[in-house]
Amino acid sequence: MNRVVVVGSGSLARAVCHSTAVVADRPVTVTVVGRDAARSAEVAYVAGARAALSGTPARFRSAAVALDDDAELAALIADQTPDAVLHCASVQSPWESVTAPSGWTGLLAEAGFGATAPLHALLASRVAGAVRRSGVPARFLNACFPDAVNPILAARGLPIDAGLGNVALLTASMRAALGLGPGDRLRVLAHHVHLYPPAGPGEEALAWAGDVPVADVTGALAGQRACRRAELNAVTGHTAALLLRDWRPGAVVHTNLPGPNGLPGGYPVRITDDGMTLDLPAGWDRARAIAWNTRAGSREGIRVAADRVHFEGRAEAALRAYLPDLADGFPVAELESVAARLLDLRAGLRAEPATGTRAG
């Protein structure tokens, strides 16, 4: 990809740009877009300096836009004509439980990460809508809880090619632990929930090295799971940079991505000029893989079916005490109003003491 727009200026956007600066093997121009002009410029400067020192043909620039202004976003995308738009901005920080614990983070610890899906989907939906409105045939890749958000975008009829992170991060971790190189085939079925140790037998991620099942996935992921989550964005950003480098006309890319074509959870995929298809191991078909990931998502308290988001289990129980009419879920068409109500709830609970901690 020769022209890329990265939406966001936080730690993941920085990691994507920093890695792109050193792995680019052909000319690429990356425009960092955020609400804060100074922060976006800072990301572009550091990445540009890294590219110059590394001698790569990557170039970086920045722009500031209001991410809630669909027309402004669409105009910027139309002006940049990118090959891909990477969305890395959310109204809910995954680190809030560590940086500012409160009653809100306590609720999320009780409800599970699935309860945050509407907040992660809010800006992703707006940016996806701006991509569609721009008329530019850009790939849209979402890094904000893609395992659950990408199905919401698809249900809303918005463009979504795939996600970033999660299963890609798990794949990188297993490659390192198993001593596999870039050319060694590793297929992984995994959901965001698998960033953490499994809750019980039979709930671990699944992986195949070549055609052989990986026997000890839990052991292979132990190093990653022992890391502070903020440190892992350096790996996630690198996986995204490599994807951008390798996804080019005429190439065949075998990798593992979350939310491909709006599916729930993460899958092995094959990317060609004809599009992105699932690349499942022997004995697995599309329906079985989707059902497996849907069950994994339910353990985080969320399931997207047709045009409705369903909160389940712990998420449903925790939300019922605060927003009883939303505890069962909501139609995807009501995303904006649901996110607004969650933001109001967050504002109130932030004034209360924390009852639990766990980052996303």
**Amino acid, res. 134:** S
pLDDT for 97: 85
Would you tell me which CATH number, out of the four given (3.90.110, 3.40.50, 1.20.120, 2.60.40), belongs to the domain 167-298?
Answer: 3.90.110
CB atoms within 10 A of CB 334: 16
pLDDT, tens digit only, all 360 positions of the chain: 899 999 999 999 999 999 999 999 999 999 999 999 999 999 999 999 999 999 999 999 999 999 888 899 999 999 999 999 999 999 999 889 888 999 999 999 999 999 999 999 999 999 999 999 999 999 999 999 999 999 999 999 999 999 999 999 999 999 999 999 989 999 999 999 999 999 888 999 999 999 999 999 999 999 999 999 889 999 999 999 999 999 999 999 999 999 999 999 999 999 999 999 999 999 999 999 999 999 999 999 999 999 999 999 999 999 999 999 999 999 999 999 999 999 999 999 999 998 644 445
DSSP 76-100: HHHHH--SEEEE---SS-TTHHHHS
pLDDT for 230: 85
pLDDT for 98: 85
pLDDT for 360: 55
Instruction: Name the burial class of residue 221, with classes exposed (0-12), middle (13-18) and buried (19+) by CB atoms within 10 angstroms of its CB.
Output: buried
CA distance 48 to 53: 9
CA distance 340 to 333: 13
pLDDT for 357: 44
pLDDT for 359: 46
Contacts of 111 (CB under 8 A, 6+ apart): 301, 314, 315, 317, 318, 319
Kindly report the backbone phi and psi dihedral angles of residue 299, in degrees, each rounded to the nearest multiple of 5, phi listed first: -70, -20
At 30 the three-state DSSP class reads strand
Taking the domains of the chain in order of start, what are their residue ranges?
Answer: 167-298
